Amino acid sequence: MLSTTGGCERHKPDATVEMWAMGREGEVVERLLPELYRRHPEIQVRVQQIPWSAAHEKLLTAFVGDSMPDVFQLGNTWLPELVALGAVGAIEPQVMDGLDLDDYFPGILDTNRIDGSLWALPWYVDTRLLFYRSDLLAEAGYTNPPRSWDAWMEMMHAIKQHGGSDHYAAFLPLREWQTPVILALQRGAELLREHDQHGNFEGEPFRAAFNFYVELFRRGLAPASGDSQVANVYSDFAAGYFTFYVTGPWNLGELQARLPAGLNDRWTTAPMPSPNDTYPGISLAGGSSLAVFRGTRHEASARQLIAFLSEPAQQVEFYRLTGDLPARRTAWESDALRQNTRAQAFREQLQALRSTPKIPEWERIADKIMLYAERAVRGDLTVDAALAALDADVEVILEKRRWLLRRRDEG
Amino acid sequence: MQRDQTGDRSRESGVEGSNAADAHLPSPVSRLPSSLRPGFWFALPALAVIAAFFVVPVAAALLLSFTDFDIYAIADVRTLRLTWGANYVRLIHDPRFWTALKNTAYFVVVGGPLSVATSLAAAMLLNTRMLRFKGFFRTVFFLPVVTTLVAVAVVWRYLYHPRFGLLNYGLAWLGFQPVDWLGDPRWAMPAIILMAVWKNFGFNMIILIAGLQSIPERYYEAARLDGAGGARQFRYITLPLLAPTFFFVTIMTMIGYFQLFAEPYVMTQGGPADATLSLVLLMYEEGFRWWNLGFATAVAFALFAIILTATLLQFGVSRLRAQPGG
């Protein structure tokens, strides 16, 4: 095996690079590949499509079962977990063809950097911002989207007053942790403290943001029902059941396709408002990245593949096929993106991103945030009790991390 | 009496005879160590399969429940700590475990009897002689059992929709306030129970119909001659003679209902505010979402202990009832 050279490998059938991609991305990524094959005839890629809902489990199971793909797409919040497992190889930018890290939005690139090393390359970005019905906002007396929390609150009250009791100003899905976390990051909250060893949710910034969030429901500005109740977000948005909707880029395409044509010029997007005088307010650096399995036997080809998919030209083409927003700034200069006015709000938002704590336990902590936010919204717990319970749960979740850090320090 | 005595005697002499035969002509098999008897070899393949796929995994899981096996241990097994009872202590102090236990108990205590009662009612209806097209009704009632739960869930989510759902439409027509079935923590479990009962009653119904058909018609005829009405026939003939079938059905239903998972998994994901979080759902989340296999196996063994206790209790109760005068 050791004597096998790159030259021999290209004729062997197992020189095929195995790639896992999720959902829609998995369906269309193959259409980008002919150009790669033209440039590098020695590379063969086999794309395996994985459903999003099972992707996280499948990656972990594949790692345990020693059947990892050479290249895989992953939600960038999963990266710390896979790095802790030793499942991904570090990216060395100097050996990647045509890779210019300065061209990435810094916030999104940062999610892929853990302990000083780069572990994956951002493929596309998923941040959240305001989708809103511009006609309903105008009826309530406002022509521009809110730039501050105060203005936002004022508008929501006006909309609620104008629309009546069976209409709401905003829709914030209760089964998502993102909205309270975004608001907290905007207030400058450090979600965890002392090298991410303890929860910091009873701290003042998080508490203030959490209060603001819960208040939206208590004042009847947002419906306190789970996702399951707004069975069809799209028809409700079309019917004007709510005006503001904090969501991500996948809904650009969904809303375009599902709303009646007459509504097309009556909804648009805006960056997040902010609690202070900066604008736009911070949002989450979400999205998908491309990583290479640490134990891959086709490292050179795998690296070529992700360098190729990261090229601005391929990112623009990928945007055309999926609507996924590119992670590289050059790609945003293309006509395809400049003509999409609703995407422009995302471009602005992408300048103000922060990532969540980069530790393997984050998803569990996020799940707890969602749980306690929901209970506070429903009035099961007071804000104080919910935050205290959240900190207590996070203390238990991080016990192993504290032990590992202590052990490392002791040698 | 006379005949009985001679019968006993002949049996005794038979036994003596065979003993005598053994003494004179020892069988080669009985002299071998018991482990090598043919019966053992016949059972061996089955025992091996059971050991490989049941005993070993269960023992491994039990060991796992005394460790903190998690994602870090998958990466580097040296981070695995033997924590003895810590998972079980954490379990007792975890409010979500108690929430899950409470929800599961709610589902078993309300859903189980409701399901069995519905099955029994449907079985009795389909067993009456007046009814025509029995095969048709039996098939229709059995259909939900074989339908995929995911498809069922999609339809029921529409039925439960607070603004457009058929159920609330009916309530409004009767003059009630609309109910947010799956979004209100008070109503989510009743909604899950209703769906589960509808989905599952057909299976027990088929078993109970078989039980009903095995009750000889002559008992009912005799009862009618003695002037017993429908209720008394049910109380003094149907129920006692159906008892073995009924016992089987209740035990199996209880065990099945303790393992509530798929319904909340597809309908509510345990929400709203953990109102439909069941023990198995908690176990699944801990084990396969967060990979805390140590803690998840502790949940599994706690559930096993609970089901075992409940089953033994039910056995005890039925034995008490079976005793004359009890």
ipTM score of complex:
0.78
Buried residues in A175-202 as b, exposed as e (16+ CB within 10 A) = bbbbbbbbbbbbbebebbeeebbebbbe
Note down pLDDT in tens along chain B; length 326 residues.
Answer: 344 444 444 444 444 444 444 445 555 555 656 656 788 888 999 999 999 999 999 999 999 999 999 988 988 889 999 999 999 999 999 989 999 999 999 999 999 999 999 999 999 999 887 778 888 999 999 999 999 998 999 899 889 988 788 998 999 999 888 888 888 889 999 999 999 999 999 999 999 999 999 999 999 999 999 988 889 999 999 999 999 999 999 999 999 999 999 999 989 888 788 999 999 999 999 998 888 999 999 999 999 999 999 999 998 988 887 765 43
Tally Cβ neighbours within 10 Å of residue B15.
Answer: 9
The answer to whether A209 touches A276, Cβ cutoff 8 Å, is no
Query: Which residue of A58, A68, A171, A228 is the best one to mutate when testing the B interface, meaning the one whose CB has the most B CBs within 10 A?
Result: A228
Distance of alpha carbon B299 from alpha carbon B99, whole angstroms: 13
Q: pLDDT tens-digit profile of A273-304?
A: 999 889 999 999 999 999 999 999 999 999 99
The answer to whether A112 touches A122, Cβ cutoff 8 Å, is yes
A to B CB pairs, distance under 8 Å: 69
Asked if B161's CB is within 8 angstroms of A400's CB, the reply is: no
| Closest B-chain CA to A55 | B289
DSSP state of A264: G
Could you tell me which residue, A83 or B28, shows the higher pLDDT? Answer: A83
Asked if A229's CB is within 8 angstroms of B161's CB, the reply is: yes
The answer to whether A329 touches A312, Cβ cutoff 8 Å, is no
Q: Which chain B positions have a beta carbon within 8 Å of A403's beta carbon?
A: 81
Asked if A85's CB is within 8 angstroms of B75's CB, the reply is: yes
Burial class (CB in 10 A: 0-12, 13-18, 19+), A54: exposed
B177 and A CB contact within 8 Å = no
Please name the member of B76, B272, B291 whose beta carbon is closest to the beta carbon of A60: B291
Q: Which chain B positions have a beta carbon within 8 Å of A84's beta carbon?
A: 71-72, 75
CA dihedral B271, B273, B274, B275 (to 10 degrees): -80
Among A166-180, A223-237, B122-136, B201-215, the range with the most confident prediction by mean pLDDT is B201-215
CB under 8 Å to A407, separation ≥6 — which residues? none
Q: Which chain A positions have a beta carbon within 8 Å of B268's beta carbon?
A: 226, 228
What local confidence, expressed as pLDDT, does residue B112 receive? Answer: 96
pTM summary value: 0.83
Give Dmax over CA atoms of chain B in angstroms: 90
Please name the member of B79, B164, B271 whose beta carbon is closest to the beta carbon of A175: B271
Cis peptide before A280 (omega within 30 of 0): yes
Please give the mean pLDDT across all residues of chain A: 90
Domain assignments of chain B as residue spans, ordered by start: 95-322
The answer to whether B158 touches A231, Cβ cutoff 8 Å, is yes
Q: Which chain A positions have a beta carbon within 8 Å of B192's beta carbon?
A: none
What local confidence, expressed as pLDDT, does residue B28 receive? Answer: 53
Buried residues in A330-355 as b, exposed as e (16+ CB within 10 A) = ebbebeebeebebbbbbbebbebbbb
Q: Which chain A positions have a beta carbon within 8 Å of B289's beta carbon?
A: 56-57
What local confidence, expressed as pLDDT, does residue A227 receive? Answer: 53
Q: Which chain B positions have a beta carbon within 8 Å of A81's beta carbon?
A: 71
CB under 8 Å to B218, separation ≥6 — which residues? none
Please provide residue B179's backbone torsions phi and psi, each rounded to the nearest 5 degrees: -115, 135
Asked if B71's CB is within 8 angstroms of A229's CB, the reply is: no
B82 and A CB contact within 8 Å = no
B183 and A CB contact within 8 Å = yes
Domains, chain A, ordered by start: 6-127+285-349 (3.40.190.10), 129-283+358-405 (3.40.190.10)
CB under 8 Å to A57, separation ≥6 — which residues? B288, B289
Asked if A231's CB is within 8 angstroms of B158's CB, the reply is: yes
Phi/psi-derived region of residue B312, left when phi > 0, alpha when psi is between -120 and 50, beta in every other case = alpha
Query: pLDDT confidence of A99, banded at 50, 70, 90?
Result: confident
Please provide residue B291's backbone torsions phi and psi, each rounded to the nearest 5 degrees: 60, 30
Alpha-carbon distances of B60 from A102, B52, B89, B91, rounded to whole Å: 50, 11, 20, 19
Distance of alpha carbon B133 from alpha carbon B233, whole angstroms: 25
Distance of alpha carbon A259 from alpha carbon A311, whole angstroms: 33
Distance of alpha carbon A82 from alpha carbon A66, whole angstroms: 14
Q: pLDDT tens-digit profile of B253-311?
A: 999 999 999 999 989 888 788 999 999 999 999 998 888 999 999 999 999 999 999 99
Please name the member of A86, A229, A378 whose beta carbon is closest to the beta carbon of B182: A229
Residue B74, token pair as written in the block: 């998958």
B289 and A CB contact within 8 Å = yes
B158 and A CB contact within 8 Å = yes
Asked if B182's CB is within 8 angstroms of A228's CB, the reply is: yes
C-alpha angle B6-B8-B11 in degrees, rounded to nearest 5: 110
Distance of alpha carbon A270 from alpha carbon A61, whole angstroms: 39
Burial class (CB in 10 A: 0-12, 13-18, 19+), B44: exposed
Asked if A380's CB is within 8 angstroms of B185's CB, the reply is: yes
Distance of alpha carbon A35 from alpha carbon A44, whole angstroms: 12
Asked if B273's CB is within 8 angstroms of A371's CB, the reply is: yes
Could you tell me which residue, A27 or A13, shows the higher pLDDT? Answer: A27
Is B95-322 assigned to CATH 3.40.718.10?
no
**Cα distance from A141 to chain B (closest Cα, Å)?**
29
CB under 8 Å to A397, separation ≥6 — which residues? A361, A364, A365, A368
Q: Kindly tell me if the per-residue pLDDT of A92 is higher than 90.
A: no
CB under 8 Å to A312, separation ≥6 — which residues? A103, A326, A328, A330, A331, A334
